[in-house]
Amino acid sequence: MTADGSSSRPAHNETARRYFEHSSADRVNTDAVIVDTLRQEYPNLHLTVVPQSSCHLRAYAAAGHAALAPIDDEKSRLSWRTFIPPTRRLNGDMGVLADTTLFGKYLFEWKRREFVLYIVNGRDGFNSYPSITNQYILSSSIDATNNLILEASRWGVELHNEVWVFDGGRWVKSKELWSSVQKSKWDDVILEEEMKDAIIKDVTNFFNSRETYQKLSVPWKRGILFFGPPGNGKTISIRAIMNSLYGRVNSIPTLYVRSLSSFGGPEYALHEIFGKARQTAPCFLVFEDLDSIVTDNVRSYFLNEVDGLKSNDGILMVGSTNHLDRLDPGISKRPSRFDRKYYFPDPDMQQREKYCHYWQKKLSDNKEVEFPDELCTAIAKITDDFSFAYIQEAFIAALLTIAAYNGEPDSQCWNQRTKTLMWESAVQRAVESTIDEPKLENLVLWREIKKQVKILREEMEGK
């Protein structure tokens, strides 16, 4: 404001004046105020209003598909600057500053055409939810505007090295999950070979057989259920499937469900989940820990979406559970819901030895840890009844101990309980029957693995 009380904003920017005037008084409908003012200010241009939630033009431009530049002065602009913390500090990310525009005017250039773009937050009332931000596009060609909206909207719903994740009642794109999936290969999944091949064929044949399903006049949908004790490969198998589907010539996207928590309740959440799956099909729909997601109070909603009147063609649904007994029989036993079931047991001797060879390969470049083939057999022998997760924990704990003491732990640093963690004679004799135990005792990894396995076994037995 100037000394005489008049506005210091440029007289020609009527829209900005009206917005600030309106925002400082009782608000009724911001959108109506902006539309009316823009039509008066730009009588010769076409005006199109687009919610930012369905077509994010700033993000589209930031991805390099258009150019965007502010064309108002700072006094006619309203924005919030906030700090976005790093997702992973280990990667050197220290966080960034970002601006949230509540009111701004921009020149938007796309395919040699220019548009005037207003971005306006239209929150009406103190507790209005959700907050709505609209984009007001002014151009000389309505066709050009429509083409821009179509391309920017399509780009917005496409995945760009991301996975669709349903969490907190809405679908979000996760780059982190996508990056994790890229490291999950079938070569790294240790299962009984016949079962692994069957899973791979089930998935591959489903997405290759659309015409076969149509010829047989049966719905092109399938359900697969992974069950068994925790830590034996269900999750990594799901991620290996995801990775293989992304690698197809016609990539198959994954929709990953973390929970049904939603402001609209579980019925709304399941409606959104299967609605997105039908829209995205062909797709891979994942319900990990199915027993904790589809509980008794949401079972009927789930069954209605799976078996209801709407077509689920092109949807391959996979569920996993550590507790098959907790699933309603109508879900776990009826073929039309989960046609194939795969049991993931604790690994046998051969699989445990194979898993140890996997770790041997991982440590092949480590010159400080000696890891001969005999050690794989020895570790496999002492880890009977262990899941892959428990064997992994034994390796990690042993390696961390070795690293902490530069390859040779100082016995004086161990507490009394750990000092006495040596194998009972029966276990030792079992190993000595086929393994040169004295030779292995010279290996620090073997000594530490034995201690960690002993600790974990006592935890398993509740001691």
Q: Where do runs of H (alpha helix) occur along 365-420?
A: 373-382, 388-404, 416-419
Question: Average pLDDT in the 50-63 region?
Answer: 94
Q: According to CATH, where is 3.40.50.300 located in the chain? A: 175-343
Distance separating alpha carbons of residues 304 and 144, to the nearest angstrom: 42
Which residues, listed in sequence order, are joined to residue 39 by a DSSP beta bridge?
none
Q: Encoding tokens for residue 238? A: 């799901």
Distant-in-sequence, close-in-space partners of 443: CB < 8 Å, separation ≥ 6: 370, 371, 372, 375
- CB of 137 within 8 A of CB of 120? no
How many Å from the N-terminal Cα to the C-terminal Cα in the chain?
A: 76
CA dihedral for 332, 335, 339, 340, sign (positive or negative): positive
What pLDDT was estimated at residue 420? 40
CA distances from 7 to 3, 4, 23 (A): 10, 9, 15
What phi and psi, each to the nearest 5 degrees, are found at residue 323?
-135, 80
Does residue 429 have a pLDDT over 50? no
Distance separating alpha carbons of residues 202 and 197, to the nearest angstrom: 9
Does residue 415 have a pLDDT over 50? no
Neighbours of 140 (CB within 10 A): 12
Average pLDDT of every residue of the chain: 86
The pLDDT tens digits for 241-260 are 999 999 998 899 999 999 88
Does residue 224 have a pLDDT over 50? yes
Question: Average pLDDT in the 327-354 region?
Answer: 89
Distance separating alpha carbons of residues 151 and 162, to the nearest angstrom: 19
Split at pLDDT 50, 70, 90, the class of 416 is very low
Neighbour-count burial for 329-352, b at 16+ CB within 10 Å, e otherwise: eebbeeeebbeeebebebbeeebb
Q: Where do runs of H (alpha helix) occur along 46-166?
A: 57-60, 142-157
Hey, what CATH topology would domain 175-343 get? Answer: Rossmann fold (3.40.50)
Distance separating alpha carbons of residues 432 and 328, to the nearest angstrom: 48
Give the residue from 281, 316, 334 showing the smallest Cα distance to 203. Answer: 316
Neighbour-count burial for 203-237, b at 16+ CB within 10 Å, e otherwise: beebbeeeeebeeeeeebbbbbbbbbeebbbbbbb
CA distances from 193 to 181, 197, 354 (A): 21, 6, 12
Give the residue from 224, 185, 217, 216 showing the smallest Cα distance to 316. Answer: 224
Lowest-confidence segment of 20-34, 195-209, 305-319, 356-370 by average pLDDT: 20-34
What phi and psi, each to the nearest 5 degrees, are found at residue 435?
-125, 145
The pLDDT tens digits for 110-120 are 999 999 999 99
**Can you tell me which residue has the tokens 């029966």?**
426
- CB of 322 within 8 A of CB of 228? yes
Question: Average pLDDT in the 203-214 region?
Answer: 95
Distant-in-sequence, close-in-space partners of 69: CB < 8 Å, separation ≥ 6: 106, 107
What pLDDT was estimated at residue 286? 97
